[in-house]
Amino acid sequence: MLQFENYVPVRIVFGAKKLESVGEHAKALGSKALIVTTGPFFKESGLIDRVAGYLKEAGVQSEVFMDASPNPHSDEADAGAAFAKETGCDVVIGLGGGSAIDAAKCIAVGAAQGEPTWPYWIGEKDIFAALPIIAVTTTSGTGSHITPYSVITNTETNEKPGAGADVMYPKVAIVDSELMATLPAKMTAATGFDVLAHAIEAYTSNDANPFSDQYAEEAIKLVGKYLKRAIDDGSDAEARDGMAMADTYSGCAISIAVITMCHAMAHAVGGVCNTVHGESLAAMTPSTMRHSISGRPEKYKKIGELLSSKDVASAEASVDVVAAFIKDIGMAIPLNEQGVKESDFDEIIAGATGYMAGGMELDPVLVTPEDVRKVLEDSL
């Protein structure tokens, strides 16, 4: 018997030049915005000034917090939350990829509930309040502009959990693909692979439902059609739009059906070795798919068909299609080339089956610590 719940309450503002609407959306939510970004690109490219300018035109004041790292840290988010309170900000704008948007979400929670934020991210305390969040995504992507999740790293414990709460759904997601034209080819490939991994995992998750299946299928098709084009020519507007749609569909899919084994492992790998998220996913996706095929053979077979727009003989052949795609987009980078060593395995396994156990439990096939070790060995 079919039973499910669906809740993805995000106003999606999609299209070229939609960044210009950020002021009017912020005005509906507050009077002073904190713009949260990662790294100098956003300052040097003039994007921060553009956002601040649109806010000013709409009568919204702004402050800037640029100190979030790629794979943002909990102490950075705490500093951002304290700054938001000191400066009286009442709305938070994440401007960037998943890292900036996740940092913005954590800052929004810290500003509303108080720091330190880490206890909320490891489930010691409930997340029940956040300042309103606007997500302006510049990668395609993590889906973070759509999801209620935020992934934060603790550099003392080497943990990288994702917390989720309804209050962390962005009120508005601005998806302006013109902003993605500057994303370098390597990051386009890595973030684009994250889209595919989300779709594969949501599609095969124990929490999948008819809505998440539609989103995931569409995302896989779009990645197959547009990711290589976006990598080869970052100024290909149709390909950037296609990937932005894929990312948005995938974000909806994981908001409903979450993630499974590969993401649970990639978080643990990232926490221990500070790898590029999409690269770690690409290294481990073929092996995790093989692990889980028997749980949903029909769906695994269809993944290869959707990605290649061709018939695929079997679920196993579908894994080969995904592996060939990974090679074609330049993402066949074994974990050892990403800085992961065999001596890191125990800590990774503990994280993947410990604080990331929720993701593992959604995998269609039971995952044991030995299975995690096997995937790490296969992907090294």
Q: Which of residues 259-318 bind ligand NAD (CB under 6 A)?
A: 277-278
Residue 211 interacting with ligand NAD (CB under 6 A): no
Q: How far is the CB of 1 from ligand NAD (least distance, A)?
A: 30
Q: How far is the CB of 102 from ligand NAD (least distance, A)?
A: 5
Spatial separation of the C-alpha atoms in residues 204 and 306, rounded to whole Å: 14
**Cα–Cα–Cα angle for 348, 353, 354, rounded to 5 degrees:** 95
Binding ligand NAD (rule: CB under 6 A), the pick from 83, 120, 149, 215 is 149
Three-state helix/strand/coil letters over the chain? CCCCCCCCCCEEEECCCHHHHHHHHHHCCCCEEEEEEECCHHHHCCHHHHHHHHHHHCCCEEEEEEEECCCCEHHHHHHHHHHHHHCCCCEEEEEECHHHHHHHHHHHHHHHHCCCCHHHHCCCCCCCCCCCEEEEECCCCCCCCCCCEEECEECCCCECCEEECHHHCCCEEEECHHHHCCCCHHHHHHHHHHHHHHHHHHHHCCCCCHHHHHHHHHHHHHHHHHHHHHHHCCCCHHHHHHHHHHHHHHHHHHHHHCCCHHHHHHHHHHHHHCCCHHHHHHHHHHHHHHHHHHHCHHHHHHHHHHHHCCCCCCHHHHHHHHHHHHHHCCCCCCHHHHCCCHHHHHHHHHHHHCCCHHHHHCCCCCCCHHHHHHHHHHHC
Q: Whose Cβ is closer to ligand NAD: residue 312's or residue 333's?
A: 333
Q: Return the range that interacts with ligand NAD (CB under 6 A); candidates 187-195, 211-219, 220-228, 331-339.
A: 187-195
Binding ligand NAD (rule: CB under 6 A), the pick from 102, 115, 159, 247 is 102
- CA distances (Å), origin 7, targets 72, 75, 178, 256: 26, 30, 28, 7
Q: How far is the CB of 205 from ligand NAD (least distance, A)?
A: 14
Q: Whose Cβ is closer to ligand NAD: residue 100's or residue 293's?
A: 100
Q: Whose Cβ is closer to ligand NAD: residue 260's or residue 305's?
A: 260
Residue 234 interacting with ligand NAD (CB under 6 A): no
Number of residues that bind ligand NAD (CB under 6 A): 30
Residue 100 interacting with ligand NAD (CB under 6 A): yes
Binding ligand NAD (rule: CB under 6 A), the pick from 74, 139, 260, 318 is 139
Q: Which of residues 65-94 bind ligand NAD (CB under 6 A)?
A: 70-71
Q: Return the range that interacts with ligand NAD (CB under 6 A); candidates 19-27, 98-106, 321-329, 371-379.
A: 98-106
Q: Whose Cβ is closer to ligand NAD: residue 39's or residue 53's?
A: 39
Q: Whose Cβ is closer to ligand NAD: residue 102's or residue 213's?
A: 102
Residue 151 interacting with ligand NAD (CB under 6 A): yes
Q: How far is the CB of 305 from ligand NAD (least distance, A)?
A: 25
Q: Return the range that interacts with ligand NAD (CB under 6 A); candidates 78-86, 137-145, 291-299, 362-370.
A: 137-145
Q: Return the range that interacts with ligand NAD (CB under 6 A); candidates 59-67, 176-184, 331-339, 358-366.
A: 176-184
Residue 141 interacting with ligand NAD (CB under 6 A): yes
Residue 122 one-letter amino acid = I
Residue 185 interacting with ligand NAD (CB under 6 A): no
Q: How far is the CB of 314 from ligand NAD (least distance, A)?
A: 29
Spatial separation of the C-alpha atoms in residues 322 and 358, rounded to whole Å: 25
Q: Are strands 149-151 and 61-68 parallel, antiparallel or unpaired?
A: unpaired
Q: Are strands 133-137 and 149-151 parallel, antiparallel or unpaired?
A: unpaired
Q: How far is the CB of 266 from ligand NAD (least distance, A)?
A: 8
Q: Which of residues 24-63 bind ligand NAD (CB under 6 A)?
A: 38-39, 41
Residues that bind ligand NAD (CB under 6 A): 38-39, 41, 70-71, 96-100, 102, 138-139, 141-144, 147, 149-151, 179-180, 182-183, 187, 191, 194, 277-278
